[in-house]
Amino acid sequence: MTIQRGRLARAATSVGTLLLLAACGGGGGGATPFLPLPPVPGPAAPAPAPAQQPKALVIGVDGVQYDALQQAFASARMPALQGLGTVLPAYTGGIKGKPTQQQATDGPSWATLLTGAWADRHEIRSNYEGQSFKADTVFKLLKQSRPAARTATIASWSGLPQLLRADKAAGYIDLVKDCDGNDSCVSTEASAAIEGGNYDLIVADYQGPAQVADAVGYGADYQNALAQADLQITALKASLAKRRAARPDENWMLIVTTTHGLGATGVADGIPMPSNLATVIALDKPASISPALPAALPTAIEPWYAYAASADIAPTLLTHLSARPAADKYVIDGSPLTGAPGVRQLSAATNKKFNGIQLNWTLPATPAAIKVLRDGVTVATLPGNALAFEDTTMTPASSGFFTYNYTVVADDTPVSLRATLNYVKPIVLLPSLTTGLTHLFPLKTTLADRIDNAQVFTPWVTGAVPAYAAAGDGPFGGTDAALKSTSYAGPTVCAACDGGYRIPTSKVSSTTTAFSFGFWFRSDATRTGMPIVSNKNWGSGDNAGLAIGQYGSTIRFNIGRGGARLGDKNMSFSANTWVYVAMTIDVPGLKASYYVYDPVYGMQTDSGTLTSQYVAALNGLNNGFTLNEDGDGGYGPNYRNGNASNTIGGRFDFSEFGTWSRALTATEVTAIARSGTSLTTLVP
């Protein structure tokens, strides 16, 4: 006040002086203008209130079966949990059938809750006490971000302190209390830590419901155990209310979760069934997702993958505690349940070409942008409505399995996933494949030869019209097509079938020089004992000529010389899948080689040694080299007409039939099959 009064006195003196000068006409020939007074400072603005210190309390209750919990809710046995604010359906146990899958028992469940990771990261696979975390816990991450922070764990399940012994030894946890199965001890110790311990993160574990269910199963005693657990929650909520009243400078978050369910009889068997996997997460802050609690368990857990996960608790805590790692250091699978939402249901798989990772996710809200990082390095920036990304920017030196950490950031909220790539180093078509390439029939929209347009496959059945697969249904994807083969089934054989297509035998085989042929083939594997390609009478394998036939899910190679055959060779193939089939004949070297490439079985090879008699018989009937028939076009009709009960259903589809005037090498055949690239790219 003294400073304020002095300023006013000086201001009054200045005013008097100015008035006097004006009255005397001083300062020159005219009156001195009146000068405004300087502004008088007002009272200082109050300093902004200091930011509240974020703190958190997590309460985990082991062995709460979801249906029994709903029964307790319906009978108002758990008002503390129900009245917390937001109660979300959730799941534990990872994703069934994926690397994240884990047992729904205490050890793996608590490991996920405290790390935000699944078993493929934290590597806690059971309740065995000798295990240790391979992923960072919330305690470690909090201490690294805020070294002065204090943390505490009070556990009824003695296995939890065992799992945390390394964190305690490293100083990441200031207090670890083993209550050895006594839930009342947990309440007493946790209340003391809340009210007077000055901790920033407190984790309390109760296991009363699990103990009762293990002893007597579900029933009245179990419902009473759930009610008792709610009383324990009530006690901690009361302690937290006292703390909040005494310390308004603190911003506490309370999370209560059921850590895992139980099996059909009340035993924690960990089997990946909904009874074990369904949980709930309750928190006293607004959540970024808010699905209603289902009334009962589903028959399968998969629908629950759209809900919250136990892996979401750790990132929720770290976000609230301002200790979440930066995106380039982020290795947490969960997504925070408060604040700006991250992507959800993030998944990864090796792509169809085995040269990259296909990522997919869902969005609870649309961000401004999405960024994808691999091992901390940005590989893509996508629009906010993107739901997928295929990463092919990695370049391993050789085929093999490679593991990466992907982080998908929606605006500023990261979510990570550990992905393994089954990498197959791309193989490209070899330029040498144009050497000796005599004919190339794409078999997409025409039966004509790309090299010699005068050469065309013609149907055995006069007037038969070829049918082609839809665009995109060929072996090369995109708009690629293929030649379809119709079924032999039907009352009239060749009026209802294509009867196969032929070109002159001399365009393929030779008895004097080396030759090769290969083609893409697809079948439903229902036909058996049927020629795929042939220039011989299929009635007997001993007949002169060469043939490739289907016997169920195998492809058989055969060379006959008339009265004997060069041992049949069988190779497996996958139904309804494009496979590459090739035969090479080194006439001077007296060697026949056979190839079938299937994406499941890989490249299968075999060979046989020729004699002069086999060489002399290689052209077979010299009546035509045929697709989907034998060398005289009569096998299908003869088979059908010889016995009215015989039908030849199923299908044979063909694409890109090529011939060479030399014996291809195994490397060249592999290049055609594994590259997945049309030979037409080599033939302008």
Q: What are the backbone angles phi and psi of residue 666, rounded to the nearest 5°?
A: -60, -35
Residues 253, 367: one domain?
Answer: no
- CATH number of residue 600's parent domain: 2.60.120
Q: Judge whether 292 lies within some domain.
A: no
pLDDT at 117 over 60: yes
Q: Token digits for 107?
A: 């050890």
Q: Judge whether 87 lies within some domain.
A: yes
| Average pLDDT value for residue range 660-672 | 97
Note the pLDDT of residue 178. 98
Lowest-pLDDT choice from 53-57, 310-314, 537-541 = 537-541
> Cα–Cα distance between 430 and 445 in angstroms, integer?
26
Q: How many Cβ atoms are within 10 Å of 117's Cβ, its own excluded?
A: 27
User: pLDDT tier at 493 (50, 70, 90 boundaries)?
Assistant: very low
Residues 139, 276: one domain?
Answer: yes
**Which of the listed residues 381, 397, 423 is the one where a domain comes to its end?**
423
Q: Which residue has the higher pLDDT, 588 or 538?
A: 588
Q: Judge whether 228 lies within some domain.
A: yes
> Cα–Cα distance between 503 and 459 in angstroms, integer?
9
Note the pLDDT of residue 46. 64
Q: Judge whether 296 lies within some domain.
A: no
pLDDT at 33 over 60: no
Q: Which residue has the tokens 């300087």?
A: 38
3-state secondary structure of 504: coil
Residues 370, 260: one domain?
Answer: no
pLDDT at 66 over 80: yes
Note the pLDDT of residue 122. 97
Note the pLDDT of residue 478. 84
Determine contact, residues 259/62, Cβ cutoff 8 Å.
yes
Residues 349, 236: one domain?
Answer: no
Range of the domain at 414: 344-423
User: pLDDT tier at 463 (50, 70, 90 boundaries)?
Assistant: confident
Residues 451, 404: one domain?
Answer: no
Note the pLDDT of residue 48. 63
Decide the pairing of beta strands 250-258 and 53-61: parallel
Q: Judge whether 609 lies within some domain.
A: yes
- CATH number of residue 164's parent domain: 3.40.720.10
Average pLDDT, the chain: 89
pLDDT at 245 over 60: yes
Residue type, 79: P
pLDDT at 634 over 90: no
Q: How many Cβ atoms are within 10 Å of 536's Cβ, its own excluded?
A: 31
Residues 466, 569: one domain?
Answer: yes
Residues 277, 360: one domain?
Answer: no
Q: Judge whether 294 lies within some domain.
A: no
Residues 110, 243: one domain?
Answer: yes
Q: What is the pLDDT of residues 282-338, one digit of tens each?
A: 999 999 998 999 999 999 999 999 999 999 999 999 999 999 999 999 999 999 999
Residues 504, 629: one domain?
Answer: yes
User: pLDDT tier at 153 (50, 70, 90 boundaries)?
Assistant: very high
**Which of the listed residues 383, 402, 423 is the one where a domain comes to its end?**
423
pTM of the model: 0.67
Determine contact, residues 53/251, Cβ cutoff 8 Å.
yes
Please give the tally of structural domains in the chain: 3
**Half-sphere exposure of residue 74: CA atoms within 13 angstroms, side-chain side:** 11
Q: Judge whether 615 lies within some domain.
A: yes
User: pLDDT tier at 228 (50, 70, 90 boundaries)?
Assistant: very high
| Average pLDDT value for residue range 11-25 | 32
- CATH number of residue 349's parent domain: 2.60.40.10
pLDDT at 5 over 50: no
**Which of the listed residues 400, 423, 446 is the one where a domain comes to its end?**
423
> Cα–Cα distance between 556 and 547 in angstroms, integer?
8
> Cα–Cα distance between 198 and 245 in angstroms, integer?
14
Q: Token digits for 584?
A: 């090479």
Residues 88, 149: one domain?
Answer: yes
Q: What residues are paired with 653 via a beta bridge?
A: 484, 522
> Cα–Cα distance between 378 and 238 in angstroms, integer?
46
3-state secondary structure of 324: coil
Q: Judge whether 43 lies within some domain.
A: no
List C-alpha distances in Å: 372 to 396, 415, 431, 515, 658.
Answer: 19, 10, 37, 50, 43
Q: What is the pLDDT of residues 364-401, one digit of tens each?
A: 999 999 999 999 999 999 999 999 999 999 989 988 99
Hey, CA dihedral for 654, 658, 663, 667, is it positive or negative? negative
> Cα–Cα distance between 614 and 47 in angstroms, integer?
102
